[in-house]
Amino acid sequence: MSENLYDILIIGAGPAGFSAAIYGARAQLKTVMFGDHTKGNLYKSHIVANYLGFPNAITGPELTALGLEHAKTFGTEHIISEIVDLKLNEDGTFTAKDDKQREYTSKTVIIATGQSYALSGIKNEKELTGKGVSYCVVCDGFFFKNKKVVVIGSGNYAGEETLQLLNYTKDITILSHGKEFNFSSEIKSALEKSNIQAIKTVRIKEITGNGKAEKLTLTDGSEMVFDGYFMAVGVAGAVSFAKKIGIEMNNNYIKVDLDGKTNIKGLFAAGDCTGSPPQVATSVGNGCNAALSAIKLIRGLKIYIQYD
């Protein structure tokens, strides 16, 4: 456990995450950053012409590579895996689990996942939320004890939600919703060991029911009936972590103050996931503020400045 104990754990490898990592590592704190830097919006940007210091513009991949290199220069550990679960421990630390089923404990956490709240696009999804449709196993799994449930999704987040559902029921099916399954070997093995049925399907058209979710209809016209419907498309993001750990939200964005603090001590957020303007410069500033707040909390300081 000691090898996996960090001062600052950052979820997200974009400009906000890079900035937070630079400040955390330069403060001589054990800092780790999770995420595939090639999957973010910055990396996908063809040209960035409005970021300070690059008057002749720079491509998104180039700026991403420089940001990652900068963070690593000061000792940041970068792990290219997906965080699929986050828990607050009784002693005030946090435990994060990645898609390889490895756990990491940290004194503080900075969420910098970007805008990653993924809706499934299934008709009546919003209308039936809280009426059989859920986005959080930790929050709602208890209400489906020994029931027949389905998890809709194709990636590691769907796999992790399924494994957590085993605490409440064994009658679980995963539907891919028109995609190929993309589980890590560890999650795939755990699902197979638990005899979870994962079915590759065409897209799901709608979920219907009289006052509650009762059945789903696929685009090929076939129907399936379940007691509970857990949505887990995309990857675990700000909303996913918020629902699990009790972060206060504002219109699907993490609510923070000017220093990146959330309502949970030791948990900070930065960048697009907070609803700030989706600009590199803004995200970098947010990451700096969140990291400085984490540093001050860890060291018991009211003021902390990095002069050079």
261: which 2 tokens?
């603090």
- 190 with 175: CB under 8 angstroms? no
What does the alpha-carbon distance between residue 308 and residue 304 come to, in Å, rounded to a whole number? 13
Give SS3 for 239: helix
- The answer to whether residues 291 and 8 touch, using CB atoms and an 8 Å cutoff, is yes
Choice among 140, 272, 273, 288 that is catalytic: 140
If you ran DSSP here, which 8-state letter would residue 66 be given? H
Element (DSSP H or E) covering residue 79: strand 77-79
Neighbours of 185 (CB within 10 A): 10
Q: Is 139 designated active site?
A: yes
| 113 Cβ contact list (under 8 Å, min separation 6) | 11, 12, 35, 236, 237, 238, 241, 271, 273
Which residues, other chains included, contact 35 with Cβ-Cβ below 8 Å and sequence gap of 6+? 11, 12, 13, 14, 17, 80, 82, 83, 113
Of 85, 136, 272, 288, catalytic: 136
Query: Looking up tokens 């590579």, which residue turns up?
Result: 65
Compute the distance between CA of residue 37 and CA of residue 60 in angstroms, rounded to an integer: 11
- Our answer to whether residue 273 is catalytic in this structure is no
As beta bridge partners, residue 206 has: 123, 217
Does the active-site annotation cover 257?
A: no
Q: How far is residue 250 from each of residues 80, 118, 193, 253, 275, measured CA to CA in Å?
A: 29, 16, 39, 5, 8
Burial class (CB in 10 A: 0-12, 13-18, 19+), 161: buried
Alpha-carbon distance 64 to 58, whole Å? 10
Task: Tell me the torsion sign for CA atoms 255, 257, 262, 267.
Answer: positive
Would you name the residues annotated as active-site residues? Answer: 136, 139-140
